[in-house]
Amino acid sequence: MNKTQMLNMDINQKWYIIDAKGCKVGRLATEVAAILRGKNRASFHPSQNPRDYVIIINSQDLEVTGNKQLDKIYYRHSGRPGNLKKENFNNLQKRLPNKIIEHAIRKMLPKGVLGRRLFKNLKVYSGREHPHQAQNPKHMYIN
């Protein structure tokens, strides 16, 4: 008879803070997605939520390489016929700077219930101020 063993997950939630100033969108998103999944822990299991939180500050200062500032298009749709909206990287960064990094990270997380729960552990702020000082977040540096 097969027996299922549950891994001893660290239930200590950790808070990380990342300054996005000068970071490339894709490189930042891959690092953050790995932290949210718990791949930096020894007790990683794909079906578990490690309860790690990531705070990203200065999201308005993200950078992209090449000609993506003009060529990259973000789409949104209201669900009504004929209401597809298109917006390039520059316009979206001026209007809603948090959406760019949130979109990149959300697409790198698993699809389904676990991915939606993990995405709630991400906090993105366009300036330097954030309301999570009481959690004593650990600073991480990403190139």
Please compute the mean of the pLDDT values over residues 61-65 and round it to a whole number.
Answer: 94
Q: Over pLDDT 70: what percentage of the chain?
A: 94
pLDDT band at 38 (very low <50, low <70, confident <90, very high): very high
pLDDT at position 10 is: 56
**Domain ranges within the chain, ordered by starting residue:** 15-64+93-140
pLDDT at position 8 is: 58
pLDDT at position 2 is: 74
How large is the angle between the packed helices 97-108 and 25-37, nearest 10 degrees? 50
pLDDT at residue 32 is higher than 60: yes
pLDDT band at 143 (very low <50, low <70, confident <90, very high): confident
pLDDT at position 66 is: 94
Question: Which CATH number applies to 15-64+93-140?
Answer: 3.90.1180.10
In the numeric block, which tokens belong to residue 92?
A: 């979206």
pLDDT at position 4 is: 67
pLDDT at position 134 is: 95
pTM of the model: 0.89
Whole-number Cα distances in Å, 86 to 68, 94, 128, 138: 15, 15, 29, 37
Q: Strand pairing partners for 140?
A: 18
pLDDT tens profile 95-137:
999 999 999 999 999 999 999 999 999 999 999 999 999 999 9
